Chains A and B, each alone.
Chain A
């Protein structure tokens, strides 16, 4: 158990809908990263927050957005969902935002878009 929690574990929805994925980092960690992993694909970095502020953006679509709240939990919002958005979404946390920090990954949310 990494100490990072994600809810829900599974989510099934239809095209065109909007969903929100939630992540709570490990106690004391200030930085949260979001990743997308499609079937048999590597991990695609989406976005990073540090202490409530956006720190880095990766390959995140405009239909996707995220935020980190004062209690440090983070939410990833996916809208106008398409079949291709079906994937595992992971969040990870670290104490700081520096390079090389061990990232602790949550168990992931499996999103299925029908």
Chain B
């Protein structure tokens, strides 16, 4: 089977750095994606890691270690607008599986 685990909530202050972890169990793996979803909004794509290592996109970075079945999303210079839910996701064959989501609250 396949499942992903994430912390349910994370809180940080403006300007700080926060890391959201994702561990997965799957019998087939095709890479890890990250999505952001604001309350009442649609998910939007942030990043994708097919290979081990770090991918950087502006203030956001994503890391993958396939040997550890682990990845994380790193958000730097946090802003109030980063308050949202963050989902890791992966393909299982043609099936897309999302993690339960991590709710990030950024405090002033």
A97 to B91, CA, bound (A): 10
Cβ contacts under 8 Å, A106 to chain B: 42
Question: A64 on the interface (CB 8 Å rule)?
Answer: no
Q: Which listed residue, A33, A97, A105, touches B42 by the CB 8 Å rule?
A: A105
With CB as the reference atom, state the residue of chain A lying closest to B48: A100
Chain B: interface residue total (CB-CB under 8 A): 23
Residues from chain B with a CB closer than 8 A to the CB of A92 are 43
Q: Does A43 contact B (CB under 8 A)?
A: yes
| CB pair A42 B87 closer than 8 Å | yes
Per the bound structure, the CA–CA distance linking A55 and B94 in Å amounts to 7
What is the CA–CA distance of A107 and B31 in the complex, to the nearest angstrom? Answer: 25
B98 within 8 A of A: yes
* B91 and A100 within 8 A (CB): yes
Closest B residue to A41 by beta carbon equals B100
Nearest CB of chain A from residue B57's CB, rounded to whole Å: 12
Residues A90 and B43 in contact in the complex (CB < 8 Å), given A45-B98, A55-B94, A102-B48 = yes
Known: A100-B30, A107-B41. 15 other contacts (CB 8 A): A2-B42, A41-B100, A42-B100, A42-B101, A43-B43, A45-B96, A45-B98, A48-B95, A55-B94, A56-B94, A57-B95, A99-B31, A100-B31, A100-B50, A105-B44
Binding site for A on B (CB under 8 A): 30-31, 33, 35, 41-45, 48, 50, 87, 89, 91, 93-101
Can you list 17 A-B pairs, Cβ within 8 angstroms, ordered by A?
Answer: A2-B44, A43-B89, A48-B94, A48-B96, A55-B94, A56-B93, A58-B95, A58-B96, A99-B30, A99-B31, A100-B30, A100-B31, A100-B48, A100-B50, A102-B33, A104-B45, A105-B42
